[in-house]
Structure 1
Amino acid sequence: MANIPSELLSHQQKVCRLYKRAVRCVEDWFHKTHERRYQIALLRERFDKNKDIKDLKYAKYLLKEGEKEYFSKIHYQPITFAESITGGAYGRECYTPDWALDYWHPLEKAMYPKYFARREQMKDEYLKWYFETYPEEKKKIDNH
């Protein structure tokens, strides 16, 4: 089921996506800015040369040949964006639970006095609400 298309793409969208992939491929091969920009300009010229073709059969043929050429020139170790699925930083952001702030040193808490004063007030309000909503929990704690 991996190859079932979730949407239908127009020919124009396919060409645009091929162009973007080809530009990324050029970026993989050419690391100096002036070389990369020159190669991308040549690539754009090749795409622009065929943009006014009205014969859809020939346009599809050119697209197929372009994809073949792209896959033959694809880099063996493409550059990936750090936050993309294949990137090195994907999924690194971690959730820090609120209780971790309870273990801050008092000198650290003193740097943000308003925040921690409001936080303590909110914790007290939450405990009050919780034990009013669930009085049986208060009894369990008192019995232990």
Structure 2
Amino acid sequence: MSHLVTKITTHGRKVCSLYKRALRNTEAWYDRREMYRYRAVLLRARFDENADIKDMRVAQELLDEGEKELFSLIHYQPRQFTYSPGGVAAGREVIPPDWVLDYWHPMEKAEYPDYFARREQRKKEYIELWEKTYGKPAEPSH
């Protein structure tokens, strides 16, 4: 459940997040590098104008206005990184689970004796740690 927010997000973190999302949105709108850089410099200047505001009410109001402005200017088809969720190659490479190695043929395991000896030792250590922490599993009653 690592996706759940468990800590308070600071104002500074929110401002940094808004800035990064605004930069990514600007990148989606401007394909030519020089146009993007020009707009990025203007965006940074807008953020730097308000960097020294000490009154948190005013700062929060500016943050809310920035969120609304970003929402109104959001690109209709934002860019996605290739391997990120939503990207064209997300989830293409299937990483096999560890238990697949248990079903290797002994002749295949013989090609990597050090690895499989260390793996068996670590499996024993893991089982001991599990039993120490949670106790032995209960026998099923039929």
TM-score of the pair, normalised by structure 1: 0.65
Distance 1:120 1:83, change over 3 A: closer
Structure with the bigger percentage of helix: 1
Give the CA deviation at 1:121: 7.4
Change (3 A) 1:53 1:120: closer
Give the counterpart letter for 1:122 in structure 2.
A
Unaligned runs of 5+ in 1: 103-118, 126-144
Give the distance between the partners of 1:120 and 1:30, measured in 2 at CA. 53
Amino acid paired to 1:57? R
Measure the CA separation in 1 of the matches of 2:108 and 2:7: 51
What is residue 58 of structure 1 aligned with on the other side? Answer: 58
Q: Distance in 2 between matches of 1:69 and 1:77?
A: 17
User: Residue in 1 aligned with 2:9?
Assistant: 9
Q: Percent identity?
A: 47
In 2, Cα distance between equivalents of 1:89 and 1:121: 32
Mapped partners of 2:95, 2:19: distance in 1: 38
Bigger radius of gyration: 1
Residue 69 of structure 1 corresponds to which residue in structure 2?
Answer: 69
Give the alignment of 1:1-144 within 5 angstroms: 5-95=5-95, 122=110
Cα 1:122–1:34 change in 2 (3 A) is same
Q: Could you tell me how far apart the structure 2 residues matched to 1:23 and 1:7 are?
A: 25
The residue type paired with residue 33 of structure 1 is: R
Quick one: distance in 1 between partners of 2:6 and 2:54? 27
The AA in structure 1 aligned to 2:33 is T
Taking the aligned partners of 2:41 and 2:22, their CA distance within structure 1 comes to: 12
Q: Deviation per CA, 1:2-24: give whole Å up to 9, x if none.
A: xx743211100000000000000
Aligned-residue RMSD, C-alpha: 2.6
Number of residues of Structure 1 aligned to a counterpart in Structure 2: 104
Distance 2:22 2:89 in 1: 24
TM-superposed deviation, 1:88: 1.1
TM-score, length basis structure 2: 0.65
What's the CA shift string for 1:11-53, capped at 9, x where partnerless? 0000000000000000000000000000000000000000000
